[in-house]
A and B are shown apart, each in its own frame.
Chain A
Amino acid sequence: MKEEIIKTDVLCVGGGIAGLMAAIRAAELGVSVVVAEKGNPLYSGCGRMGNDHFETWIPEVHGEDRDAWIGELLRTAKGEILISKDILRAQFMKAYDIVRLWDGYGIPMKSKGRWEFGGHTFPGRPFTHIKYEGRFQKKILVKQARDRGAQIMSRIMVFDLLHANGTVIGAIGADTREDKVYIFQAKAVLLGTGKCSRLYPSLTPGWMFNDPHGNVQSGDGRAMALRAGAELQNLEMPQRHIGPKYFAKFGQATWVGVVRDWHGKPAGTFADKPDRRYGDMICEVNKLAPEQYTKAGKGPLYMDCTGISEEDLQYMLHWFVHEGNSSLLDHMQAEGIDLRRHPIEFTTYPLRGGGLIAANAKTETTIRGLYAAGDEAYGDISAAATFGYIGGENAAVYAATVAETDIQGRRTFIDEKKGLLDRLRGRSNGPDWEETQTALQQTMLDYAGHVRNETLLLQGWHHLHRIREKAGATLMARNPHELGRCLEVLNLLDLAEMTFIMALDRKETRGLHVRPDYPFTNPMLNQAHVISRQDGKPLLQWRPY
């Protein structure tokens, strides 16, 4: 397999919002920057086709008392959060600056010359999210990064970190278009590979890519950080979202409607008619509502926009495009679905892998020179943009103070990884990535799914371990594209095993981690659950947020 060595001060893994913002900031501080993205950064990540909400404090609207606004946010809109409040505070100390930066880049953050607010807010409470026209945000951010000298490399699946003596020194990536491996020698690496959305089956059985994330987000950053010895947090706490059935797309706060049953009765108490300012907060308060209605024999539930004014309808359709939902609009038009007449069924989307890379408010992980931002560490667009910027700055400052480490000292490790790629490409008659992924997903759903207990988890862990061993010995890739998918599945298998270990260790019921053998929430566990691999063995710790 061909090999190319690329030297850079800062390597950003993933060209989503966080990776691009890190590249922009690091490059403007004068260090060399490479962004390596397994797809195309013009069209990757959760912000690929746009976003229309950006969470921020705006002084001329909310007043100068930022802490009061943050306090309000924590009391109401945020619900239970599984990260440090210091991190949230750091986000909102900076988010307004990022809003102004983006506006300067050419991403319209104001509407008709003023701040427009909507969605994600309880009626009568201070607004939290500005509406912004994010349809072309990726194109604009890629240009900003390039203008500052960052090198953008597409179709490179970075799959392992190079490290020595607790310090990151680079990374290894596979080209997904030709048989070629890239060895990055980097003083600092920022991971921004997004969520871990493919651990469980999708909305459509067997149709893995019907997912609001787009489903190329396979926890790559988490997995490579874990293998390098970094700490991961709360992997056993899965997430679920809510949205249209069966066309899985995010953006529930863009809908101007009321969540109602077949007979028109609202499911929540926050809205009784379409309101463009607030939407229906039941979608935020209880994403399980559609599933609960169905189980209670009261389903289905709809996002009901009937009764909406023509002006508000046009308003909503405008923001749908910026939220990245133009394909949903095209589909409704093709099917003759008219939101003024047709309530759209909403559903609770399936389980998605949870957790994150443990990073502080400076985006530093527990490995020197390794940073994490975006959904990898703490997500949503505002957090991705803000912590991407913060991470890029810290990575650049750090990179300017350290000497580069020759990656040839890690040649044995590199050759082992190249051997893995050769084996995957050289095999025939083994399971492909899709077969392996199917086995993984069914095991996760059945044994670490909606209900968990000790014996179920032990059995599932044992079974998963067998799949992992077999995949390690027989998984095959017919071409470089499938090689990338195989590397994703191997990452998911590592994270799946850690999920079982962490779920066994969390002896309580909390959120979507339901353990009937430990049915109560234990207040003593209001802490970060942290895992790392030390000397090849998992090490679990509880630590205050």
Chain B
Amino acid sequence: MPPVIDPEKCTHCGKCVEICSEDVFYGSKSGEIPTVTYPRECSHFSGCVSVCPTQAITLRIPLPMLLVYKPAAEELQKPVWAKPTTHGPEI
């Protein structure tokens, strides 16, 4: 769930906890790796990502938010998009 903190890179500086207006890190303890307490309140503007001095944070974009795009013409040629064989009456 967004944001995801890499414990190896996190220096426990707390900058992400302070910047977040939604306060998804509410309840995080000073000097520890922040806790993502309210992930569903994330607005995905990357404020935490931008202030992290060690690039320890990435946003995991939730599945309902996946950007919808039209596949390029050659991508539609892939076998997965081939029309299925239909057995039935000719109309």
Q: Is the interface of A mostly helix, strand, loop or mixed?
A: loop
Q: A246-B65, A342-B71, A342-B72 are in contact. Are A209 and B41 (CB under 8 A)?
A: yes
Binds B, one of A330-338, A365-373, A405-413: A330-338
Report which of A43, A326, A345 forms a contact with B70, defined as CB distance below 8 A: A345
Interface size on B, as a range, is 20 to 34
Q: Mark B3-39, 1 if CB is under 8 A from A, else 0.
A: 0000000000000001111110011000000000110
Report which of A176, A211, A244, A341 forms a contact with B23, defined as CB distance below 8 A: A176
Q: Which residue of B lies closest to A434 (CB)?
A: B40
Complex CA–CA separation, A38 to B64 (angstroms): 27
Report which of B40, B45, B68 forms a contact with A246, defined as CB distance below 8 A: B68
Q: A214-B43, A479-B26 are in contact. Are A345 and B69 (CB under 8 A)?
A: yes
Interface size on A, as a range, is 35 or more
Complex CA–CA separation, A338 to B60 (angstroms): 19
**Would you call A324 an interface residue if the criterion is a C-beta within 8 Å of the partner chain's C-beta atoms?**
yes
Residues of A near B91 (CB, < 8 A) are none
**Would you call A239 an interface residue if the criterion is a C-beta within 8 Å of the partner chain's C-beta atoms?**
no
Residues of B near A245 (CB, < 8 A) are 67-68
- 16 intermolecular pairs with C-beta atoms under 8 Å apart: A39-B23, A40-B20, A43-B45, A48-B47, A177-B23, A204-B65, A210-B64, A214-B21, A214-B22, A214-B45, A246-B66, A248-B65, A331-B61, A332-B67, A335-B67, A345-B68
Query: Do the beta carbons of B70 and A302 come within 8 Å of each other?
Result: yes
Q: A209-B42, A342-B70 are in contact. Are A48 and B21 (CB under 8 A)?
A: yes
Q: Mark A431-458, 1 if CB is under 8 A from B, else 0.
A: 0000000000000000000000000000
B-side interface residues toward A, CB under 8 Å? Answer: 18-23, 26-27, 37-38, 40-47, 49-50, 59, 61-62, 64-72
B16 to chain A, nearest CB (A): 10
Q: Is the interface of B mostly helix, strand, loop or mixed?
A: loop
Given contacts A177-B26, A204-B64, A216-B43, 17 further A-B contacts (CB under 8 A): A39-B21, A39-B22, A48-B47, A49-B46, A49-B50, A204-B65, A207-B40, A208-B40, A210-B65, A211-B43, A245-B67, A327-B44, A331-B59, A334-B61, A337-B67, A342-B70, A479-B26
A-side interface residues toward B, CB under 8 Å? Answer: 38-40, 42-44, 48-49, 154-155, 176-177, 204, 207-211, 214-216, 244-248, 262, 300, 302, 304, 324, 326-328, 330-332, 334-335, 337, 341-345, 479, 481
Complex CA–CA separation, A328 to B59 (angstroms): 11
A534 to chain B, nearest CB (A): 35
Complex CA–CA separation, A120 to B68 (angstroms): 24
